[in-house]
Amino acid sequence: MRLWWIVPLWKTLHYVSISLLVGIVSLVDLRIVGVAKGLPLRPLQRLMPWAALAFVMSFATGAMLLRINPAGSLGPPINVAFVGKIVFLVLIGLNDVLYFASGLKRQVDGVGAGESTSASAKIVAGVSLGLWVGVIFWSRMLTFLAGAI
Amino acid sequence: MQQWTETSAFFIWLRESPSIWAYPTVLFLHTAGLAFTAGVSLVINLRLLGLAPQLPIKPFARFFRPLWIGFWVTAISGVVMLGSDLDTRLANRLFLPKMIFVAGAVVLLLVMRRRVFSAAPPEQTRVPAFARVLAVASIVCWLGAIAAGRFLAFF
């Protein structure tokens, strides 16, 4: 096949976008949990729009990969790992909505260098980290669970 | 070495078990570890290149412990997968370039931790020029390693 390099190139773009997304999420969540307390949270949380951009890039490149091989994820039979991935992404979305709507985001913005965040902020950040690890788990299981049920 | 990975019970299980807790889980650890290590490194490099300029430099040194944990998860799972199919993987022409990119990224992390992050005065936000050069080199290494890893699977 003459255009064999398109799929690995596209997967590289997908991986790089995800790395940037996971990188920003990890830095912010780890700081909220208590790593690198020397960093003030207001300027650190200003990275979040970049995480949103990285998510849009991950989603767009992922949607293209889904179009190239729809049966691998959508079946029939529908792939359990794909369902798991979507469910976890929705949970991350809900966790983020909770973070903003509850006023926690604004509270955390007020946490300066050397200060600790509230217990509820730590829980939301910990849940976020765990859910992202879960998204990577389901993504990796896609090829292995295709047609499993 | 070759003999050993072909006959050891662990590597036979890893190769032949249909369970998702065998090879797929090792591959997952490799992916998750890499996404974390490369991702956090990339964002720290972008900080050195001018992203979020209000953030002081020194506290980033604290992220190196989780970074190394992520690196070792990636490296150990990588070695385990290498052992599961030693001949084929070593023969892949992208394997060596990938290892060179990874080695470069690790050396740069070690240098940056000492010369850029630990060495910075507590409140400093200004980034010295040599640190920006290191950041560009580090980004090239991580992008190279990810790309080599993706293309490697197609050879």
Encode pLDDT of B91-118 as tens digits: 888 999 999 999 999 999 999 999 999 8
DSSP state for residue B61 in the 8-state scheme: G
Portion of chain A with pLDDT greater than 70, in percent? 98
> Has residue A1 been placed in a domain?
no
**Closest in A12, A39, A44 to B146, CB measured:** A12
> pTM (2 decimals)?
0.92
The gap from C-alpha B90 to its chain's centroid, in whole angstroms, comes to 18
How close A136 gets to chain B, by Cα (Å)?
6
Cβ-defined contact of B38 to A26 (cutoff 8 Å): no
Enter the ipTM: 0.91
Range of the domain at A31: 6-145
A44 closest CB neighbour out of B36, B55, B142: B55
Distance from CA of A36 to the nearest CA of B (A): 5
In the predicted structure, residue A75 carries a pLDDT above the cut 80: no
Average pLDDT over residues B57-86: 93
DSSP B153: T
Cross-chain Cβ contact B38/A23 below 8 Å: yes
Q: Give the CA-trace dihedral at B114, B120, B122, B124, to 10 degrees.
A: -150
Please answer whether residues A136 and B31 qualify as being in contact, where contact means their C-beta atoms are separated by less than 8 angstroms.
yes
* C-alpha Rg value of chain B to the nearest Å: 18
DSSP state of B126: -
Number of separate domains in chain B = 1
Chain B interface with A: residues with Cβ < 8 Å: 20, 24, 27-28, 31-32, 34-36, 38-44, 51-52, 54-56, 58-63, 65-66, 122, 142-143, 146-147, 149-151, 153-154
Both structure tokens of B74? 């990636």
Q: Could you tell me if B32 and A15 are in contact, meaning their C-beta atoms sit under 8 angstroms apart?
A: no
Q: Considering only the beta carbons, identify the residue of A12, A35, A47 that sits closest to B63.
A: A35
C-alpha–C-alpha distance, residues A138 and A134, integer Å: 6
Q: What is the DSSP letter of B113?
A: I
Contacts of B142 in chain A (CB under 8 A): 19
| Average pLDDT score over residue span B106-135 | 92
Distance of CA A40 to the CA centre of its chain: 23
**Residue of B106, B108, B110, B45 lying closest to B75 (CA atoms):** B106
Looking at the structure of chain A, the number of domains it has is 1
Contact A38, A113 (CB under 8 A): yes
Q: Are the beta carbons of B55 and A43 closer than 8 angstroms?
A: yes
Rounded to whole angstroms, the Cα distance separating B25 from B17 reads 12
Q: What domain range is B100 assigned to?
A: 2-152
Q: Is residue A137 situated within a structural domain?
A: yes
Evaluate if residue B58 carries a pLDDT over 60: yes
- Which of A15, A23, A50 comes nearest B40 by C-beta? A23
DSSP class of residue A2 equals: T
In this prediction, residues B149-154 reach a mean pLDDT of 87
Q: What string of DSSP letters covers A33-78?
A: HTSSTTS-HHHHHTTHHHHHHHHHHHHHHHHHHHHHSHHHHH-SSP
CB contact under 8 Å between A136 and B42, yes or no, is no
Q: Do B39 and A23 touch (CB under 8 A)?
A: yes
Distance to chain B for A74, nearest Cα, Å: 19
Q: How many CB pairs under 8 A join A and B?
A: 110
DSSP B55: S
Contacts of A9 in chain B (CB under 8 A): 150
Distance of CA B127 to the CA centre of its chain: 24
